[in-house]
Amino acid sequence: MNIKPEVSVIIPTYNRGYLVGRSIESVLNQTYHNFELIIVDDASTDNTKEVIKKYQKVDSRIIYLNHDKNKGGSAARNTGIKAAKGKYFAFQDSDDEWLPEKLEKQMKYFEKSPSVIGVVYTGFWRIKNDEKRYIPSDKIMNKDSRIHNELLRSNFIGTPTILINKDCLKDVGYFDETLPRLQDWELVLRLSKKYIFKFIDEPLVVSYYTDDSISANNNLYYEALEMILNKHSDFFLKRKNAFALHYFNLGYYYCLNNDFNKGKKYLFKSFFIYPKKIKYLAYSIISLFGQNNFRKFLGSFRKIKSIILNR
């Protein structure tokens, strides 16, 4: 007799045959066992399928799904969600690693308060080259319960750290497949607007930065940020300092890179939304003198700052 799994773990993957095994093993090695593992192959052209099939032969909890064409990570996660049978959903990335007690510790909170909590998430180690950083940092003031306002300022929740009540996810909708990046942030913004988050202050996930990952593409980051600010302007208008900060970051990036006129527009928007910040006014005025002068100013400012800090 087939027992319905309590948790559905979903891994999207694309051409990660050389990495996905580590991710799979970290799920199979969990001290909590009542789960199904749905791996969605987003039309890989390497040996990803063969690697997954090898694990599938020795563990009946693994389900392999395959896209005929590449649709992106969010579409792959949504495919897994639609096929899932569990009451709770967890998401793992094909290049990350869970610590063995992750699911067990998260499920304890849901078992205590199943009708109150929408999401349980954990801290994680982010490893880039030789640097190891714990997230969320101490600068994040509110990490527990009602955290929507805190999330408006920045995303400190990684997709592989979350365990979500299925009903809550269905209520707010699945991953936004139109976004080129920041799909995790956009989803938790919607969830945190309505539901309570529980935080486990332990690094129960290890996230590895790789140069070929989508998260390494800055152009996609700022494109996605624009889309989210437009989509959820009603969220951000209630915390104008966060709204202005994102517009300033967009303006700064575009002024230095591929679209100076757009950057200038966003710098002025940041000031008009939050005029208390003199920095926003200063950068807006400097942008009026053109891109070359803007870059010269930044170069001079960095030299002065370096001299002061090295005294």
**CB count, 10 Å around CB of 233?**
10
Per residue in 100-138, is it b (16+ CB within 10 Å) or e — as a string?
Answer: eebbebbbebbeeeeeebbbbbbbbbbeeeeeeeebbee
Q: Residue 235 and residue 94: Cα distance in Å, rounded?
A: 31
Residues 46-88: pLDDT tens digits? 999 999 999 999 999 999 999 999 999 999 999 999 999 999 9
**Cα-Cα-Cα-Cα dihedral of 44, 50, 53, 54, to 10°?**
-140
pLDDT in tens, 107-165: 999 998 767 799 999 999 999 888 999 999 999 999 999 999 999 999 999 999 999 99
How far apart, in Å, are the Cα atoms of 118 and each of 153, 194, 218, 250, 263?
21, 9, 31, 31, 37
- Residue 207 scores a pLDDT above 90: yes
List strand residue ranges (DSSP E) for the chain, in order: 7-13, 35-41, 62-66, 88-91, 97-98, 117-128, 131-135, 162-165, 196-208
pLDDT confidence of residue 129: 83
| Average pLDDT score, the chain | 93
Confidence of residue 300 (pLDDT cuts 50, 70, 90): confident
pLDDT reading at 201 higher than 60: yes
In this structure, the strands spanning 196-208 and 97-98 are antiparallel
What pLDDT, on a 0 to 100 scale, did the predictor assign at position 126?
Answer: 94
Residue 8 banded pLDDT, cuts 50, 70, 90: very high
User: What is the predicted pLDDT for the residue at 1?
Assistant: 43
- Whole-angstrom distance, CA of residue 66 vs CA of residue 49: 9
Domains of the chain as residue ranges with CATH: 7-215 (3.90.550.10), 239-309 (no CATH)
Please tell me the predicted confidence (pLDDT) of residue 308: 59
Burial grade of 283 (CB within 10 A; 0-12, 13-18, 19 or more): buried
Least reliable range by pLDDT among 11-25, 166-180, 181-195, 291-305? 291-305
pLDDT above 90 (res 235)? yes
Residue 282, pLDDT above cutoff 50:
yes
pLDDT digits over 22-55, tens only? 999 999 999 999 999 999 999 999 999 999 999 9
Q: Is the pLDDT of residue 215 over 60?
A: no
Task: Report which of residues 151 and 296 the model is more confident about.
Answer: 151
Residue 298 has a pLDDT of: 85
258 pLDDT higher than 90: no
- Find the mean pLDDT for residues 230-238: 95
Query: Token pair of 219, please?
Result: 């152009």
Q: What's the mean pLDDT in 243-270?
A: 95
Q: What are φ and ψ of residue 24, in 5° steps?
A: -60, -45
Residue 123: predicted pLDDT? 97
| Contact present, 18 and 24 (Cβ < 8 Å) | no
pLDDT given at position 305: 61
CB atoms within 10 A of CB 182: 21
Rounded mean pLDDT, 11-26: 96
pLDDT greater than 60 at residue 176: yes
Instruction: Identify the three-state secondary structure at position 110.
Output: helix
- pLDDT computed for residue 217 by the predictor: 76
Q: What is the pLDDT of residue 115?
A: 72
Sign of the dihedral through C-alpha 111, 166, 87, 39: negative
